[in-house]
């Protein structure tokens, strides 16, 4: 199995959604399994006789146990008895902890498929994203007819390996039972549905999508009958039949694939039904953000914070037909405007608030906007908007790739919505310092200063990455013992943002052996002071995964933002666990200092080997909506040279970004929860921004509980994604798709 998936090196202190494990009623544990290479579907059945099979240890992969070099399928079987129950089996749930599996595994209990990490997210013809080192956990309801209480049960796991190591490892395997209402949540259970749909959509020129819909059947019994694919336009409520196959048959572990065309504007749901029974629903990419008007429209925040004498780099973000000419009324002394690019540069010597008016004009019209330069102690008065190389390029980042993404930010028009920072993450550092101790870039970054100059000339800013330890997470040189020298070098290069990642510092910390808050703060206090001494503002971003409740002291070490969690990845589990867990941090966010739930995973990501984000379109809307409400730093994680219209639409909705950039700088709180629906709300300058999220598997229709949220009767509601005022009888009723959301403003 090719390892494309780099698990963040430091997952320490991951804030978990999971409640603490409750009382364990019963535990069955295995150190060994019955094992055979090859695969036949009969091997999944409980009745199969595996007595002739080898016994294998599940502490280590099979290749370490006499099957060296074996590639292909293999099956593990675990046989166990479940006790006769005295009470109802409804009151019990089983949790299967299946250790780690390398890889593309399917798990069956008594012949019934219960889950797998097997969809084999195909990146291109050869590459498959692997989860070889993720623990598998699955749940089964006690009353699942597949279980045999008072008798023999078999777990059978089919594994596939196509290189390197293979099989189950890091055992033991255990089966636990819990009272049904006390089952602890875990997040590593994937693809539990035995029939699942997948959709890949390619944009065609005229706002249409070419969708490849794939339906996979993991029931040992084939799916047979009349297969009908329909397309529901959720705006108009109209349903259209896309395809009918009279004698369809999808065998066990087989897929049915077809191409269908849909329109990209508005949300569509494609339903596959067999003899009238719904098999699966998938939703193609959809664009909600209305096209920007041809007339100029000045977007972005209302304020810019800068310290006296520090360079100002600010691009007036304006959408509309190009060319646009820019003017600034009341431009303070020390600043100059490039009227063609709309880039303001220079510096302001004296602290104070400088109110100006931006004017943008093209041949269709003019727009103007009041704006303030706040010259004083604070930078990042609104959260940073930008890009970071990690989620797309991982350690494969290079100067060319950074520049291509920056060019993508300009060409796609994202720059016209306030996106500014271009941040280089790990892997820019040379293996050795210069003789005088100066940090150097490696061969992938031939001229970082020139890159910075080019970014600045376009009104963009440049960020960099280091660690307070000797080494970064990617094992590149960190700043330990060279803090001042590194900060000076960064300032010379024109760096505007430093992500300072704990990693190698763990070793120093362990030496102290005294984990009091002061020790967690120590390396960050040091760099914070040094950054202040530089002749430019360097936004200070702490990355230590939330240890010691960093939000409680981040501002004290002069940080502008701090990561609250471990690394995000592009799965619903990861997004959901991180995003919906940001509940205690809200009081600590405010102008100049922000909670950072990690970078965004929309568009083409892949930590060095790109694939389309595995988040569904609904999940991607949820991601941007939640991060906007959380008033988080918004750092795009995809290759911006390759964004499609869907991704650009997600990242260029002025009203959605406006919630993030609102001048009050409040972070949303979870204010309401019922079943799978969560409502997160924050005050904004002109009302309340309200996110309605559905974290469950089924669509939910909900009437906004306005009174409970303290929203006045008759308040005007606006759908921010669609940029539409809501009116009429059902203006406050929302049908929220599974993993989807609405973002509303009430005023």
The residues carrying an active-site annotation are 501, 567
d(CA 267, CA 285): 8
The residue among 426 and 570 lying less far from ligand GAL, judged by its C-beta, is 426
Q: Which stretch binds ligand GAL (CB under 6 A): 5-13, 371-379, 569-577, 602-610?
A: 5-13
CB of 543 to ligand GAL, least distance (A): 5
The residue among 319 and 388 lying less far from ligand GAL, judged by its C-beta, is 388
d(CA 468, CA 481): 9
CB of 504 to ligand GAL, least distance (A): 10
Greatest Cα pair distance, the chain, in angstroms, is 87
The 8-class DSSP code of residue 586 comes to G
Backbone phi, psi, residue 563, to 5°: -65, 135
The 8-class DSSP code of residue 494 comes to T
Site for ligand GAL contains 426 (CB under 6 A):
yes
The residue among 217 and 541 lying less far from ligand GAL, judged by its C-beta, is 541
Number of residues that bind ligand GAL (CB under 6 A): 14
Q: Which of 543, 575, 668, 677 binds ligand GAL (CB under 6 A)?
A: 543
Helix (H) or strand (E) holding 282: strand 277-282
The residue among 425 and 483 lying less far from ligand GAL, judged by its C-beta, is 425
CB of 553 to ligand GAL, least distance (A): 19
CB of 607 to ligand GAL, least distance (A): 9
Q: Which stretch binds ligand GAL (CB under 6 A): 33-41, 147-155, 467-475, 622-630?
A: 467-475
Give the helix, strand, coil percentages of the chain, each rounded to 5.
Answer: 20, 35, 45
CB of 668 to ligand GAL, least distance (A): 23
The residue among 472 and 652 lying less far from ligand GAL, judged by its C-beta, is 472
Q: Which of 3, 4, 8, 368 binds ligand GAL (CB under 6 A)?
A: 8
Q: Which stretch binds ligand GAL (CB under 6 A): 3-11, 24-32, 528-536, 612-620?
A: 3-11
Q: Which of 225, 474, 554, 591 binds ligand GAL (CB under 6 A)?
A: 474
Burial class for 65, CB neighbours closer than 10 Å (0-12, 13-18, 19+) = middle
The residue among 8 and 413 lying less far from ligand GAL, judged by its C-beta, is 8
CB of 446 to ligand GAL, least distance (A): 21
Residue 108: closest CA among 48, 162, 169: 48
Q: Which residue is nearest to ligand GAL (CB)?
A: 473
CB of 620 to ligand GAL, least distance (A): 20
Pair 745, 684: CB distance under 8 Å: yes
Q: Which stretch binds ligand GAL (CB under 6 A): 261-269, 364-372, 465-473, 678-686?
A: 465-473
Site for ligand GAL contains 501 (CB under 6 A):
yes
Site for ligand GAL contains 425 (CB under 6 A):
yes
Q: Which of 157, 402, 503, 538 binds ligand GAL (CB under 6 A)?
A: 503
Q: Which of 217, 319, 405, 472 binds ligand GAL (CB under 6 A)?
A: 472
Q: Which of 169, 390, 562, 594 binds ligand GAL (CB under 6 A)?
A: 390
Site for ligand GAL contains 477 (CB under 6 A):
no
The residue among 566 and 592 lying less far from ligand GAL, judged by its C-beta, is 566
Helix axes 517-532, 505-512, angle to 10 degrees: 130
Backbone phi, psi, residue 150, to 5°: 80, 20
Could you say which residues in the range 562-591 bind ligand GAL, by CB under 6 A?
Answer: 567
Pair 357, 330: CB distance under 8 Å: yes
Pair 658, 622: CB distance under 8 Å: no
Cα angle at 595 between 594 and 597, to 5 degrees?
Answer: 135
Site for ligand GAL contains 9 (CB under 6 A):
yes
d(CA 310, CA 222): 68
- Both tokens of 455, joined, read 């970014």
Site for ligand GAL contains 311 (CB under 6 A):
no
CB of 467 to ligand GAL, least distance (A): 8
Pair 364, 320: CB distance under 8 Å: yes
d(CA 421, CA 494): 12
How far is the CA of 551 from the CAs of 44, 310, 367, 597, in angstroms? Answer: 49, 27, 39, 11
3-state secondary structure (DSSP) of residue 245: strand
Q: Which of 455, 473, 530, 615 binds ligand GAL (CB under 6 A)?
A: 473
Site for ligand GAL contains 386 (CB under 6 A):
no
Pair 95, 136: CB distance under 8 Å: no
- Both tokens of 214, joined, read 């794939």
Residue 264: closest CA among 234, 233, 285, 236: 285
The residue ranges that bind ligand GAL (CB under 6 A) are: 8-10, 390, 425-426, 465, 472-474, 501, 503, 543, 567
């Amino acid at each position: 199995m090719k390892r494309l998936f780099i698990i963040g090196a430091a997952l320490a202190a991951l804030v978990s959604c999971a409640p603490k494990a409750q009382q364990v009623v019963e535990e069955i544990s295995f150190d060994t399994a019955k094992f055979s290479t090859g695969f036949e579907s009969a091997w999944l059945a409980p009745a199969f006789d595996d007595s002739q099979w080898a016994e294998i240890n599940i502490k280590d992969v099979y290749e370490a146990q006499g099957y060296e070099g074996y590639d292909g399928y293999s099956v593990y079987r675990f046989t166990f008895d479940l006790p006769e129950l005295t009470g109802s089996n409804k009151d019990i749930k089983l949790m299967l902890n299946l250790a780690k599996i390398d890889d593309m595994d399917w798990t069956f209990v008594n012949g019934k498929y219960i889950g797998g990490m097997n969809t084999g997210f195909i990146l291109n013809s050869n590459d498959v994203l692997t989860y070889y080192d993720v623990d598998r956990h699955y749940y089964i309801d006690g009353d699942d007819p597949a279980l045999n209480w008072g008798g023999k049960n078999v777990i059978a796991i089919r594994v596939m390996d196509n290189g390197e190591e293979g099989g189950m490892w890091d055992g033991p395997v255990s089966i636990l039972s819990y009272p049904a209402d006390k089952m602890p949540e875990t997040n590593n259970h994937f693809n539990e549905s035995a029939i699942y749909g997948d959709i890949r959509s390619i944009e065609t020129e005229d706002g249409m999508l070419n969708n490849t819909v794939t339906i996979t059947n993991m029931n040992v019994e084939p799916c047979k009958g009349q297969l009908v694919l329909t397309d529901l336009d959720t705006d108009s409520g109209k349903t259209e039949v896309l395809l009918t196959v009279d004698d369809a048959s999808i065998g066990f572990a087989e897929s049915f694939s077809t191409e269908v065309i849909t329109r990209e504007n508005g949300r569509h749901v494609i339903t596959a039904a067999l003899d009238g029974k719904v098999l699966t629903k998938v939703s193609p990419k959809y664009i909600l953000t209305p096209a920007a008007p041809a007339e100029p429209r000045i977007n972005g925040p209302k304020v810019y914070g800068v310290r006296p004498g520090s360079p100002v780099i600010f691009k007036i973000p304006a959408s509309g037909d190009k060319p646009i000419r820019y003017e600034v009324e009341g431009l303070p002394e020390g600043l100059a405007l490039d009227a063609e690019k709309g880039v303001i540069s220079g510096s302001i010597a004296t602290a104070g608030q400088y109110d100006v008016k931006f004017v943008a004009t093209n041949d269709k019209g003019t727009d103007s906007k009041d704006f303030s330069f706040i010259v004083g102690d604070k930078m990042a008065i609104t959260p940073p908007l930008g890009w970071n190389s990690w989620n797309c390029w991982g350690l494969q980042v290079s100067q060319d790739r950074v520049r291509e993404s920056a060019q993508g930010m300009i060409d796609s028009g994202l720059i016209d919505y306030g996106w500014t920072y271009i941040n280089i993450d790990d892997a820019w550092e040379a293996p050795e310092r210069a003789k005088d101790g100066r940090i150097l870039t490696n061969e992938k970054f031939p001229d970082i200063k020139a890159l910075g100059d080019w970014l600045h000339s376009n009104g963009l800013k440049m960020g960099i990455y280091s660690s307070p330890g000797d080494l970064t997470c990617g094992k590149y040189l960190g700043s330990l013992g060279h803090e001042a020298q590194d900060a000076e070098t960064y300032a010379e290069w024109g760096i505007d943002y430093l992500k300072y990642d704990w990693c190698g510092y763990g070793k120093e910390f362990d030496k102290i052996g005294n984990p009091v808050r002061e020790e967690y703060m120590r390396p960050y206090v040091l760099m914070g002071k040094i950054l202040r001494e530089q002749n430019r503002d360097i936004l200070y971003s702490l990355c230590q995964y939330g240890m010691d409740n960093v939000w409680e002291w981040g501002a004290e070490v002069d940080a502008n933002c701090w990561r609250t969690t471990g690394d995000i990845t592009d799965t619903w589990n990861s997004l959901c666990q991180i995003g919906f867990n940001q509940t205690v941090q809200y009081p600590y966010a405010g102008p100049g200092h922000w909670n950072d739930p990690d970078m965004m995973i929309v568009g083409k990501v892949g930590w060095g080997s790109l694939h389309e984000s595995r988040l569904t379109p609904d999940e991607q809307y949820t991601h941007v909506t939640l991060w906007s409400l959380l008033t988080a730093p918004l750092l795009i994680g995809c290759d911006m040279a390759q964004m499609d219209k869907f991704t650009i639409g997600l990242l260029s909705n002025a009203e959605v970004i406006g919630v993030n950039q609102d001048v009050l700088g409040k972070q949303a709180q979870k204010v309401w929860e019922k079943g799978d629906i969560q409502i997160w709300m924050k005050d904004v300058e002109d009302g309340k921004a309200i996110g309605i999220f559905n974290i469950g598997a089924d669509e939910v229709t909900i009437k906004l509980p306005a009174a409970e949220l303290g929203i006045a009767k008759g308040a005007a509601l606006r759908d921010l994604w669609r940029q539409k005022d809501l009116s009429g009888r059902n203006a406050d009723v929302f049908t929220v798709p599974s993993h989807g959301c609405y973002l509303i403003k009430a005023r």
